[in-house]
Amino acid sequence: MTGKNSLQSLRGISFAQHIALIIALSASLSTVPGASAQEFSSDLLDKYQEKVEKRELTDQELSRLAELAQTYKDNARVHLVYGLALDLVGLNDQALEQFKLSDKLGPKDSQAVVGIIHHLLSRGDKAAAKAMLDQAMERFPNDANVLYVLGRTLLDDKHGQEAESVLWRAYGLPNRPVGVAVSLAELIMPYKPELAVQYAQEDLKRQPDNRLGLAVLTEAYFNLGEYRKTLAPAARIFALDPFYRNCADLYARSLYWNGQYRQGLMPALYCLARQATYMGGNMPASEVIAQISQKVSSRDLSQALEEFYQNTIGPGKDIVRTPFYYYLAQALSRAGHHEQALVQIDRFLAADPRCVDAILFKGRLQETKLGDYQGALASYRLAHALLPYNPVCDQALVRLEERLSVRESDLAWLLRDGLRRLLNLPPI
């Protein structure tokens, strides 16, 4: 790992691994111009803080901050910037310690207090966060960082009117943090999407990969009917986090309305994976997949599914739940991809072999779409065995048994089956 690597490689590492990295890189720091731990300025910290805000800090720069924090133990600003960097890579407990040191050493700096409040909120400790926020408002009544945290907290607690008032105060102050403008955009987007675009772009200029900013921009363009403009922010947020808010759904629909059907399959599949975590209820993504699948070839569909499963199934992924296969099978059957629908329902039944609804669906698919009458008969018999007094299971089994009993003498049926096989048509 070199100093040029992205901080993405550090997300999720342990504190011990982080310290090992610092030790491994410390030797190389002496060969970097201006890297001496004895020489640093506020300009250097400004540069590091700006890189943290833009998510551009390198591994080597993180290690440099760690070195500075060890050397200048009484410097509140060093601890603050190092804490922000640790928070960026997911080392939240270590970040909290740095924020506490910064607040202790520099009581006039609100960012350390804000870091502690963020930490408490991320852990779900709202009571402690609110108490510290109240203290922060007393200490920093006109500070943009504190006002932003207060406004964001009110917004997350569904107090929109109060949140908007506080956020406008923060917006009018100098050095407002990234997040103020996009939070205002989120508030006004339902009734002023054009203005929401403007405010979201303000924060995205400062932090191009700000997820909330990308999501709000996506939704604002979508609400304006600007589906072509929706594609760029939607594609970016989908690459960063395919499950963030409802962006995958908006991305899939925008691709569909722009005629990019093959590309629309992937976000639609992710959207269904997010929705289909249980059996029952409405799964809107299933209908989106059905509409898109009607526009793609069987080959493109198979390739898209193979790519999706490679990305979502395996150790450490754990994204697809069993109901996903059921609703995907239904969508593909509606789109006319009956063979692929059978593959998906078999995936479902491999995990849940006693689901009668799925067994009946498979039977109907075999009987009416694939012409596999013996397979359908086996499916109906299994469903009947599981629910022997269910009228739906009983009727499906009896009806097919009666049809099959006269099949060899039913010339019309034989002729229809022959034509179906010749012309590759579904059963009549």
Per residue in 337-359, pLDDT (tens digit) is 999 999 999 999 999 999 999 99
C-alpha distances in Å from residue 407, one per residue of 286, 318, 397: 36, 46, 15
C-alpha distances in Å from residue 89, one per residue of 13, 55, 65, 117, 207: 8, 9, 13, 18, 16
| Helical segments of 72-192, H only | 76-88, 92-105, 110-122, 126-139, 144-156, 160-171, 180-188
Of residues 245 and 113, more confidently modeled: 245
So what's the pLDDT on residue 234? 98
Token pair of 423 as six digits: 């012309």
Q: Which among 176, 236, 153 is positioned nearest to 53, based on CA atoms? A: 176
Q: Which of 64-73, 97-106, 208-217, 353-362 bottoms out in mean pLDDT, i.e. has the lowest?
A: 97-106
Residue pair 108/136 in contact (Cβ under 8 Å)? The answer is no
Of residues 3 and 66, more confidently modeled: 66
Backbone phi and psi for residue 67, each to the nearest 5 degrees, phi listed first: -65, -40
Residue pair 3/61 in contact (Cβ under 8 Å)? The answer is yes
**CA 64 to chain centroid:** 32
- Residue 53 reports pLDDT greater than 80: no
At 32-50, the pLDDT tens digits run: 333 333 346 677 877 887 8
So what's the pLDDT on residue 174? 85
So what's the pLDDT on residue 147? 83
User: If pLDDT is split at 50, 70 and 90, which confidence band does 135 have?
Assistant: low
Q: Which among 369, 298, 354, 291 is positioned nearest to 322, based on CA atoms? A: 354
At 258-317, the pLDDT tens digits run: 999 999 999 999 999 999 999 988 899 999 999 999 999 999 999 999 999 999 988 888
So what's the pLDDT on residue 67? 87
So what's the pLDDT on residue 263? 97
Residue pair 250/234 in contact (Cβ under 8 Å)? The answer is yes
- Residue 1 reports pLDDT greater than 50: no
So what's the pLDDT on residue 380? 95
- Distance between CA atoms of 54 and 111, rounded to whole angstroms? 17
- Residue 51 reports pLDDT greater than 50: yes
- Residue 30 reports pLDDT greater than 60: no
Q: Is 75 left (phi over 0), alpha (psi -120 to 50) or beta?
A: beta
Q: Which among 368, 261, 359, 353 is positioned nearest to 304, based on CA atoms? A: 261
So what's the pLDDT on residue 302? 95
User: If pLDDT is split at 50, 70 and 90, which confidence band does 404 have?
Assistant: confident
Percent of the chain with pLDDT over 70: 78
Round the average pLDDT of the chain to a whole number and report it.
82
- Residue 183 reports pLDDT greater than 80: yes
- Residue 421 reports pLDDT greater than 90: no
- Residue 425 reports pLDDT greater than 70: no
So what's the pLDDT on residue 127? 67
Is residue 6 classed as helix, strand or coil in its secondary structure? strand
Of residues 271 and 112, more confidently modeled: 271
- Distance between CA atoms of 329 and 326, rounded to whole angstroms? 5
DSSP code for 177: P
So what's the pLDDT on residue 3? 41
- Residue 330 reports pLDDT greater than 90: yes
- Residue 428 reports pLDDT greater than 70: no
C-alpha distances in Å from residue 111, one per residue of 114, 163, 330: 5, 20, 52
Max mean pLDDT among 104-108, 172-176, 183-187 falls in 183-187
Percent of the chain with pLDDT over 90: 48
Average pLDDT over every residue of 185-204: 94
